Structures are given as C-alpha cells and as structure tokens.
Structure 1
C-alpha cells in the first residue's frame, strides 16, 4: 500500500503569511501527518503531493527525506487524479492538515480496506464534528445522517480505469484524530486547547 499526503493547496482560507502545512503544533503540521504514516509501518512508499502553491512545504519535505510528486496545483481532485493515474496499487490518501493523526488511527483505517471497493471515503458525523467546535464545508448524507469528509480515502487504484462515474463508498469513524483538520484560523486556535 502507498501512502499519499496531499500537500499542494494554497490554504487561502487561513489568511496566512506562511504556508498552512508549516504551521507549528509541537512540530510542523505536515510532519505529524507524514510521521503517522511512517510510524504505522503500513506503506511500501509515502508520497507527498506538492504544487506551485506550496514551494516552501515541498522544500521542507525534501529536506526531511520525504518523496514529493509535483502537480499543477489546479485543485485537490485534479491533482489527486493526476497522481492516481501513475499508481497501480492500493492507496491511502490523506490531507496534509490533520495534526492529530497518529499511527494507531492509520492502522485502524487500513484494517477497514476492502480491495473490492475502488474508493472509500472516511467520514465523521456532523454531530461529532460540531461537538468538537469544528465546521466543514464538505458534507454528504450517509445512512440518513449528515456526515463530513475527513480528507482520508482508501483507494484501489489498480481497479480504476476512469475517474468518471466512480462509486464512492463510505465508512464513518467519529474520532478526533481524523476530524480535526485545519481549515481556518479558528481551527488552529482550537488546536492549541486539545
């Protein structure tokens, strides 16, 4: 299995001088994500997906011996699709802004991988997210409940012939470690209280 970390976004909603993934929470946010994948001992390779929107993040990752894959930085979905076309393996995709990720939750998610399903997105319930004081713009109704995307997906890219009309499956895991992604200054402020 290959671990993919999406690290090419602009982070415009944060309104920062520096790149979002280099914000510190004991160490730069991006390192929490990369280290959780490394420490899970579950991946044959870990790739950070960077773009022209994140030059400092790319430089920082390379300095820390993390392999990068450069994309045009058009958007999350477009950049991810570009990467998946080059990989024929099972993949865990995670957003680079999940500072509470750790190896245990990564292993827990990987254990839920079903190779028969091409794409499985990991969700948290709206109720759980709001109980943490967080909000998300990316929601879906699943099992009659409003749920939110965590930025983590399990993908069997060996089975992808086209990225059109993919059937998306869902797994709900209400866990703070995957619910907490940094989309706003408020999220970052809240992080220091966890």
Structure 2
C-alpha cells in the first residue's frame, strides 16, 4: 500500500519515497517482500503519488495496481479486485521490515489455517507499550484481551469476513514512519 501523500511527514517527498537510511521506504519494503516467501508483490498506487507509481513501474519486482486514491480502505478494496485472496498487505511506511519479519507473519497465517477450510483474515498488531518504549508514534490503538495494541500496517486478507489477530513484539513491525521523529527513530534503529 503506497498511495499516500505523507502530509504528516511534513515533506515535499511522497511518503513511500521518503528516504530512511538513504533509501526510499518503498524500496526497503519491496526488498523485504522479494526476500521473503511472498510470491508476487504489487505496489498499490493512487493519483496522489505519481512519482511512487513511476518508481514502482521501474522495478521488475513491483507490479503497480492503480486505485482511485479515496483512502486506505477504499484503495485496499480496489486492489483486492485485482488480485485473488489470500493477500498479504504491507504499508510502505515500515522501513525496518525485512524478509524474516514477513516470513514470521506468513508462518503465523499458515499455522492458523491448518485444517480450516476457510481461514480468517489476520490483522498484525504490536503492543502499544512496545511502540511507546521505542518512542514510535501511535495513531490507532485498541484494547484486545486486556492489552492495548496497535495495528502494524501488515495484514493477511482472506476470502472470509472473519478476522483474527496476530500479536507480535517485533520492533521491525512497530515503527511506522508517519512523522519526522518516526523517521529519526527508524534511522537510529537501522
């Protein structure tokens, strides 16, 4: 998912192309996916990020999928019409993501779907306490089994309407770069 403008970053650069550690975040996420068990990667782009669309089109490992740019949920729905579930979705603002972290999510999904005819979708979350401990911003959090968790920007969307949660204490999934202090934190952790 890489169609955002990145207005909270207060940068002229489109969010997916914002550099962390000298490389665009989208390149870091694409490399993580390319090194993982994920079979195919698509860059879900919008009219709000034309340079991101061009960047993705130049990479052999990213096939752009055009969306209307009406927001994350609507763009995700548009993207899901172009590919067949189950689908791993990853936000482009996770510069610490690597192949091992992606494979851990895929492994958790594979484990959960053993013997289940229609496995549920899986939302990946991290404890909000981890984000606070690291100094990462928290834009969304909710209570789950007595703990406050935050979505990581990684999900597996299946063919059913049911959903389960995979909670991980993996810092690679806890740092979404939404603001300049998040970018500084990601650079320090790299």
TM-score, structure 2 normalization? 0.90
Deviation at 1:135, TM superposition (A): 2.0
With 107-116 and 75-84 compared, the bigger mean Cα shift is at 107-116
Q: Which residue of 2 aligns with 1:52?
A: 47
- The 5 Å alignment of 1:104-183 reads 104-113=100-109, 114-115=112-113, 116-156=118-158, 159-160=159-160, 166-183=161-178
Q: Which residue of 1 aligns with 2:28?
A: 32
CA offset digits 1:125-147 (Å, max 9, x no partner) = 11111000012121121111110
Q: Give SS of 1:53's match.
A: coil
Deviation at 1:82, TM superposition (A): 1.3
- C-alpha separation in 1, matches of 2:63 and 2:171: 28
**Residues 71 and 79 of structure 1 are in contact (CA less than 8 Å); yes or no, is this contact kept in structure 2?**
yes
In the alignment, structure 2 segments of 5+ residues that lack a partner are none
Q: Which residue of 1 aligns with 2:72?
A: 76
In the alignment, structure 1 segments of 5+ residues that lack a partner are 1-5, 161-165
With 20-29 and 125-134 compared, the bigger mean Cα shift is at 20-29
Q: Which residue of 2 aligns with 1:102?
A: 98
Please state which structure has a larger fraction of its residues in strand: 1
TM-score, structure 1 normalization? 0.88
With 100-109 and 84-93 compared, the bigger mean Cα shift is at 84-93
- C-alpha separation in 1, matches of 2:17 and 2:71: 19
**Residues 117 and 169 of structure 1 are in contact (CA less than 8 Å); yes or no, is this contact kept in structure 2?**
no
- C-alpha separation in 2, matches of 1:152 and 1:191: 17
- C-alpha separation in 2, matches of 1:118 and 1:70: 26
CA offset digits 1:58-106 (Å, max 9, x no partner) = 1111112221001011000100011113322321101011001111111
